[in-house]
Amino acid sequence: MTRTRILLVLSALLLAFAAAVPVSAQTIGLAISTQSNPFFVDLREGAEEKAAELGVQLRVVDAQDDSARMLAGIEDLIAAGVDVLLINPTDSAAVIPGVLAANRAGIPVITVDRAADGGVVVSHIASDNVLGGRMAAELIVKASGGKAKVVELEGIPGTTAARERGQGFNEVISQYPGIVVVARQEAGFDRARGLTVMENILQAQPEIDFVFAHNDEMALGALVAIEAAGRANQIKVIGFDATDDAVRAVREGRMLATVAQQPRLMGALGVETAVKVLRGETVDAFIPVPLSLVTND
């Protein structure tokens, strides 16, 4: 047998072996933005539960809201030889080098909740954040009759979630001249920063009717500041994510509403999609996760 023929036979055997490797013997990596936010804890738990159900291994790294740490975590997952990579970016632009590194390594990438601004991604799983922003704005229009003074607390500027929620919200608000955004400030998707930012806004703005925060953590921080200032009867707060604390605040009448995402379903869909990729199945470029509005009605 010639050397060339031997190599061809070996190559064929290796390909056959790879195709025969069961999905359960392969590993899915999950690079998650932070575990200090209950939304992303739910996302991770949804992924873990689905991985256990499907019998696949899941390896998780936490970026702790730090883009450099996220890139390092992605590099670790690539070095560990994961077969598919799920990424929940801290920043949609800053994560591009990580996506490109996975592309070079031949590892399929799936983004969850937040998209990447570059690199090859086989599927993106997320809520329609533009629609969610519109839902919050439409609630304000309905509750105010089209006349109100509003504060918008923005999330991390580099994330698609913040950009899209703000886009949808302002697309609707801009159609009503009687609704004025008296303050618009970034609070980093963080409860403590939401509190501090809202304290400053309350001092500067004697008239506020509504606050729309790009996530529940900021909304809950703002709520504490509003209640401490004795203005809870004047200002209605709308959040985004439907975390347990926010839903409880809505049920208690302390918040007006929260836009409900389904982070556990996102995590589960991420793993399900990764398994389909491992099996060589075709997956959709965008997999939407349904939204709803949680109110006290």
3-state secondary structure 190-245: CHHHHHHHHHHHHHHCCCCCEEEECCHHHHHHHHHHHHHCCCCCCCEEEEEECCHH
Parallel, antiparallel or unpaired: strands 123-127 and 286-289: parallel
Between 17-21, 175-179, 196-200, 203-207, the lowest mean confidence (pLDDT) is in 17-21
Q: At 13, is the pLDDT very low, low, confident or very high (cuts 50, 70, 90)?
A: very low
Check residue 2 and give its pLDDT: 56
Q: What angle do CA 20, 25, 30 make, to 5 degrees?
A: 125
Check residue 23 and give its pLDDT: 58
Region 132-151 average pLDDT: 98
Spatial CA neighbour of 86 closest among 111, 61, 53: 111
Length of the chain measured in residues = 297
**16: pLDDT strictly greater than 80:** no
243-250: long-range contacts at Cβ-Cβ below 8 A with a sequence spacing of 24 or more?
A: 243/38, 243/39, 243/42, 243/216, 243/217, 244/38, 245/38, 245/216, 245/220, 246/216, 246/219, 246/220, 246/294, 247/294, 249/220, 249/223, 250/294, 250/295, 250/296
More confident residue, 131 or 11: 131
Check residue 297 and give its pLDDT: 81
Check residue 197 and give its pLDDT: 98
Q: Tell me: the pLDDT tens digits for 217-262?
A: 999 999 999 999 999 999 999 999 999 999 999 999 999 999 999 9
**15: pLDDT strictly greater than 50:** no
Region 38-50 average pLDDT: 96
All domains of the chain in start order, with CATH: 3-126+263-285 (3.40.50.2300), 129-260 (3.40.50.2300)
Region 65-83 average pLDDT: 97
Rounded distance between C-alpha atoms, residue 141 and residue 152, angstroms: 14
- Adjacency order of strands within the sheet including 109-112: 57-62, 27-32, 84-87, 109-112, 123-127, 286-289
Asked if residue 179 lies in contact with residue 141, where contact means CB atoms within 8 angstroms, the answer is yes
**17: pLDDT strictly greater than 90:** no
How many other C-beta atoms are found inside a 10 Å radius of the C-beta of residue 25? Answer: 11
* DSSP symbol at 293: E
Region 182-195 average pLDDT: 97
Rounded distance between C-alpha atoms, residue 30 and residue 48, angstroms: 10
Check residue 166 and give its pLDDT: 98
Asked if residue 97 lies in contact with residue 120, where contact means CB atoms within 8 angstroms, the answer is no
More confident residue, 297 or 126: 126
Question: Rounded to whole angstroms, what are the CA distances from 227 to 4, 97, 286?
Answer: 78, 43, 40
Please give the backbone phi and psi of residue 28, each rounded to the nearest 5 degrees, phi first.
-105, 130
Asked if residue 28 lies in contact with residue 51, where contact means CB atoms within 8 angstroms, the answer is yes
* DSSP symbol at 167: H
Rounded distance between C-alpha atoms, residue 235 and residue 211, angstroms: 7
Check residue 5 and give its pLDDT: 55
Region 87-111 average pLDDT: 97
Percent of the chain residues past pLDDT 90, beyond the cut = 90
